[in-house]
Amino acid sequence: MGSFREYKRQLSRRGIVAVDPPTRCSWARTPLSIAYHDAEWGVPVHDDGILFEFLTLEGAQAGLSWETILKKRESYRDAFAGFDPVRVARFTPARVERLLQNPGIVRNRLKVVSTVQNAKAFRLVQREFGTFDSYIWSFVGGEPRVNRRRTLSEVPPRSPESDSMSRDLLRRGFKFVGSTICYAFMQAVGLVNDHTVDCFRYSKLGA
């Protein structure tokens, strides 16, 4: 297949104007990751249900690729009661055993058990702060941290804020919330804007 530039020239000769594809963060390469990148990644989230969803999915990702988790996302939604922390907190050991037979999720006992434990800890945070949203956004002062990454290689695996978040979540009984996981969570739900500066989403998210 020829270059996009040649393709544009061919269309131009036919009186058709071709629009250049937008520049994206370099990790968004597959149809699934592109759709996620363009619609969700880095968008500030203030809905407790969605925050619990991403906390669950980021923990499930540990040791795996995000693409793998995106492929299993709908199965996770079905398996974990639509990511309702109230319902997940009530999962019994028998239900956990059934989940471990579900090929649609990551069948890692520690990860599945931790999701139920995290739902219980999540509910305690909600009772203390009113919402999990109020609690988690306090780590960035209530406003997204807008970074200026030129390339993917400049994005760190963790930050002082994710270190602090991890320590406090662990103290509150959460599992699979190391600093690297917390930083990925912060990127996903918009606590930080880590789109590279040339990405079309960077300015759209309030750079």
145 Rama class: left (phi>0) / alpha (psi -120 to 50) / beta? beta
CB contact set of 94 (below 8 Å; sequence gap of 6+): none
CA distance 8 to 155: 34
Q: What is the 3-state secondary structure (H, E, C) of 109-129?
A: HHHHHHHHHHHHHHHHHHHHH
> Using an 8 Å Cβ cutoff, are 201 and 38 in contact?
yes
R_g over Cα of the chain: 20
Residues catalogued as catalytic = 36, 58, 66
CA distance 161 to 165: 6
22 Rama class: left (phi>0) / alpha (psi -120 to 50) / beta? beta
In 3D space, the residue among 93, 92, 91, 87 whose CA is nearest the CA of residue 123 turns out to be 87
